[in-house]
Amino acid sequence: FKLAEMCERQHVQHVVYSGMDYIYRVTGTRCSRYDGKGEIEYRLKELKVPLTALRMPLTYEYLIHSLVPTREGNDTVFNNIIEPQLEVDVMGSGDIGGVVKMAFER
């Protein structure tokens, strides 16, 4: 919240923020990593601070690094694998700059 109040006090002309969904407001379940960013974005909007919130999907690199195999008995198991029936947006981390540039051009 301090960031939002500071932007309001300083009359910041426009904030560009890497936002995330406010999981608690969406599901009623706390998720501190997501909710912290969501709370800030919500407060910026509440204070009517001019805001562009960018939401980037997971990156391939994040997925690759999170797929660290572990041993369970005699088996090698990959934890943190996304359920195959779920549709998930993913992009390469090298593409993020181009997406942000395009957002500013439009």
pLDDT at position 47: 94
CB contact at 8 A, 49 and 15: yes
The string of pLDDT tens digits covering residues 56-100 is 887 888 777 777 778 888 888 776 666 667 777 888 889 989 988
Q: Output the six-digit token pair for 61.
A: 């690199």
Position 54, amino acid: L
pLDDT at position 7: 94
The string of pLDDT tens digits covering residues 9-36 is 999 999 988 877 666 666 777 767 667 7
CA distance 16 to 99: 13
pTM of the model: 0.62
Give the contacts of 67 (CB within 8 A, at least 6 positions apart).
Answer: 78, 79, 80, 81
